[in-house]
Amino acid sequence: MLVHLPNSAFLGNIDFFLSSLDLTSLPGSLTVTANKKWISIHPVVLSLVASLGLKVGQGNTQCEELTAASKNYIVRMGLLKVLGVASEISMVEHEPAGRFIPVTQIRTPSEASTFITDMIPLLHLEVEQSQTVGYIVSELVSNVIEHAQSPHGAVICAQYYRKSNSIRIGIADTGIGIKSTITRSHPAQTDLEAIRLALRPGVTGTTKKEGGTEQNAGAGLFFIKSIANVNRDFFVIYSGNGFYKLLRKPSSTNSLALYVDPFHDRHSKKSDVPYWQGTVVGVDITLAQTKEFSLLLKAITKLYAKDVREKKRMRYKKKPRFA
């Protein structure tokens, strides 16, 4: 496999990066090349490359020498460390708290909880709002651990951008993919159809029942997409040959207009991207305290509070009772 780190790969132009992936040549090895002068990439690119490195295993990844002026970013975010590639680049590692979370492999619920705890300071939000966003991301990561069936779990990283007051998050896994999961309970002929279903609230691969189950509300992806939508940010999801990107709404559009069907949002989609065995999710979240953002988080908070109460009630009902 061959991955080239370009001079720019963010969610707005990530289509070009994905189209350049070579995921079929020598599938048991990974070669990483990079732009010689400058590398400016979204955290989702780091997660994607790291997950490929974990898939091929230590010793099967080659990375050409980084010469770009921004090479320190790649090293500090921990990509080379996860890939098992030695680096001669030395640097002073400042405390990442409140600024970024390096590439992190998550395989257990406790590791997921640690990531969410570390992510909260990046949000720079009020406590309740931070907990809500953290809960949504936690749901996404938990779904990967539970349904992806990847021996390597998920790879995730995040960064806070002070200039735009936003956080960018990337999650990737090399598991069975969305189509294999969704079609356990819902018909989907293509990867893009499966992505469309996965983005609808209440649709999961664990049950045919609308609304999901008490253990899996099937709304994590819908909520994270809705937050990006309200804030006029980008959101992408990539699985198999399917690719969906939420586009920014025009400023004149009602930002609180949310659609159940993701294809009714302003978006782009493809069914001919290089086949990704697993799932990749990237999102930008502007943290400005707009009225629409606050209203949406309040609504999501109420829904999750209800869900948590229901889960506790179900756990209580399952406890053995003795006369």
138 contacts 117 by C-beta, under 8 angstroms: no
| CATH fold for domain 97-318 | Heat Shock Protein 90 (3.30.565)
* Average pLDDT, rounded, for the chain: 86
For the cut 80, the answer to whether the pLDDT of residue 2 exceeds it is yes
Q: Which amino acid is at 88?
A: E
Cβ atoms 227, 276 nearer than 8 A: no
The Cβ of residue 124 has, within 10 Å, a number of other Cβ atoms equal to 15
**CA 72 → CA 35, 133, 136, 166, 167, distances in Å?**
14, 29, 31, 21, 20
The token pair that represents 257 in the structure block = 């207009």
pTM of the model: 0.88
Retrieve residue 205's tokens.
Answer: 């691969």
67-93: pLDDT as tens digits: 998 899 999 999 999 999 887 776 666
The region of weakest confidence among 138-152, 192-206, 265-279 is 192-206
Give start and end residues of each alpha helix (H) in 178-283.
Answer: 178-182, 191-198, 220-230
Euclidean distance between CA atoms 306 and 317, whole angstroms: 17
CA 310 to chain CA centroid, Å, is 26
pLDDT tens digits, one per residue of 93-122: 666 767 899 999 999 989 999 999 999 999
Helix (H) or strand (E) holding 1: none
pLDDT for residue 184 = 86
Domains in the chain: boundaries: 97-318
- The values of phi and psi at residue 309, to 5°, are -60, -40
* Sequential DSSP letters for 241-270: TEEEEEPPPPTTS-TT---SSGGGSSEEEE
Burial of 296 (C-beta count, 10 Å sphere; 0-12/13-18/19+): buried
Q: Is the pLDDT of residue 194 over 90?
A: yes
What is the greatest pairwise CA distance in the chain? 74
